Amino acid sequence: MTTMEPILSLIGVKFEHKLRAGRTLPIFNNINLSVHYAEFLGIVGPSGCGKTTLLRIMAGLAKPSSGKVIFRGEELKGPTPRISIMHQNPTLIPWLSVWENVYLAVSSRRDMTDLEKREKTSLFIDLVGLRGFESAYPAELSGGMRQRVALARALVTSPDVLLLDEPFSNLDPLTAINLSREVEYMWLDSSLPPASVVMVSHSIEDVVQLSDRVLVLKGRPAEIIAEIKIELERPRNRKSEKFYHYVDEIFTLVS
């Protein structure tokens, strides 16, 4: 599935939090990683190891203290609609309807006509299965539906890379599985965005279910201590012995 061409890579990335009185708290000192074209990359690690920070650096939302982020051959200077991020919390705007929330993501685009923007908005609302809910407000939706709106909003910009930060951890298990299947389906369909996905999660099962490759982050400052290729047929069966073998292996590394 993976080719050797990286779409997004971190080179020697260092990040530290500034504390009071000039002290700093290093989160990671030297992270090097690449996300390949059409790859689903999983990142796991114990809580507090900086997974979310790493994702925000990839999105251009946080600046590394040193090191570079290269996106499609150029240095990433700030957030771009070509890299979308979806959080654990759907972060919908409460006073905008489902349709308006999704439309917001393309509203400032100059390379699209209004008609295109509207068509795309409707298309992605359809794709996440929310047809008929366009005029509903976030407060009127269930947790799973809100996360679907967030997914539609993340994809309507046709991003090359979709970054997922614990996307299913606020959902009940059944909803989580359904939504993860949909994410997988969109990613597999080459006519639909995104090309590559990076998912951060502490649910090792979710990560093994979806990823081509898993990076294990650990320590303080955190380092990548292992890289595991998941060579299982899709769709993956969570009950198979091989699946459990991977889960066990990663679990041992994380704990």
Calpha distance 88→215 (Å, rounded): 20
Minimum distance from residue 137 beta carbon to other proteins (Å): 9
Contacts of 220 by beta carbon, 8 Å cutoff, 6+ apart: 26, 49
Q: Is 58 in the site for other proteins (CB under 8 A)?
A: no
Calpha distance 249→164 (Å, rounded): 23
DSSP secondary-structure letter at 138? G
Of 87 and 120, the one with the shorter C-beta distance to other proteins is 87
Q: β-strands 66-71, 6-18: how paired?
A: antiparallel
Residue of 81, 129, 219, 221 that binds other proteins (CB under 8 A) = 81
Q: Is 197 in the site for other proteins (CB under 8 A)?
A: no
Q: Which two tokens stand for residue 59?
A: 């999105």
Q: Which residue from 18, 17, 10, 79 is spatially nearest to 43, judged by alpha carbons?
A: 10
Q: Is 106 in the site for other proteins (CB under 8 A)?
A: yes
Calpha distance 55→61 (Å, rounded): 9
With contact defined as beta carbons under 8 Å apart, do 105 and 86 qualify?
A: no
Which one of the spans 7-15, 67-75, 92-100, 125-133 is the region binding other proteins (CB under 8 A)?
92-100
Q: Which two tokens stand for residue 145?
A: 């539906």
User: In the range 154-173, which residues lie near other proteins by CB under 8 A?
Assistant: 157
User: In the range 115-144, which residues lie near other proteins by CB under 8 A?
Assistant: 138-139
Of 156 and 230, the one with the shorter C-beta distance to other proteins is 156
Minimum distance from residue 95 beta carbon to other proteins (Å): 5
Neighbours of 3 (CB within 10 A): 10
Which one of the spans 29-37, 41-49, 91-99, 192-200 is the region binding other proteins (CB under 8 A)?
91-99
Q: Is 92 in the site for other proteins (CB under 8 A)?
A: yes
Which one of the spans 24-32, 100-108, 196-204, 222-230 is the region binding other proteins (CB under 8 A)?
100-108
How long is the chain? 255
DSSP secondary-structure letter at 236? P
Q: Is 22 in the site for other proteins (CB under 8 A)?
A: no
Of 14 and 117, the one with the shorter C-beta distance to other proteins is 117
Minimum distance from residue 80 beta carbon to other proteins (Å): 8
Q: Which residues lie near other proteins (CB under 8 A)?
A: 59, 61, 78-81, 84-85, 87, 89, 91-96, 104-108, 138-139, 157
